[in-house]
Amino acid sequence: MVKSCKNNSKNNKDLKFYTLPKNSLKAKEWIKAADNSMVIMKKPKSHRICAIHFEPKYLVRHPHKVLYGLSPPKAYRGITENAVPTLHLPER
């Protein structure tokens, strides 16, 4: 969904992808950050933003994943309610 991002679940299976928030105001923040207004016109439920666009403070870490030695992207399964993509975004 981020305009300049080439990541997808086929070329990066270890990366976690997140759907737009159900809260419409928060979803608009994500769309604005992603610099992709086309999302509004297409099916928003099918769009995802990958974990590389979120600061670590927004990622929820699951200790049992870390305990078993899984790579960090797999260990981060969720994001906080206040998460907004801020990293590796298109320049304006």
- Give one DSSP letter per residue of 7-55, joined into a string: --TTT-TTS-EEEPPSSHHHHHHHHHHHT-THHHHS-GGG-EEEGGGS-
- 14: which residues sit within 8 A by CB, 6+ positions away? 71, 73, 74
Which pTM does this prediction carry?
Answer: 0.75
pLDDT tens-digit readout, 37-86? 666 556 567 788 999 999 989 988 766 665 666 655 555 568 899 999 99
Q: Give the start-to-end residue ranges of the domains of the chain.
A: 1-92
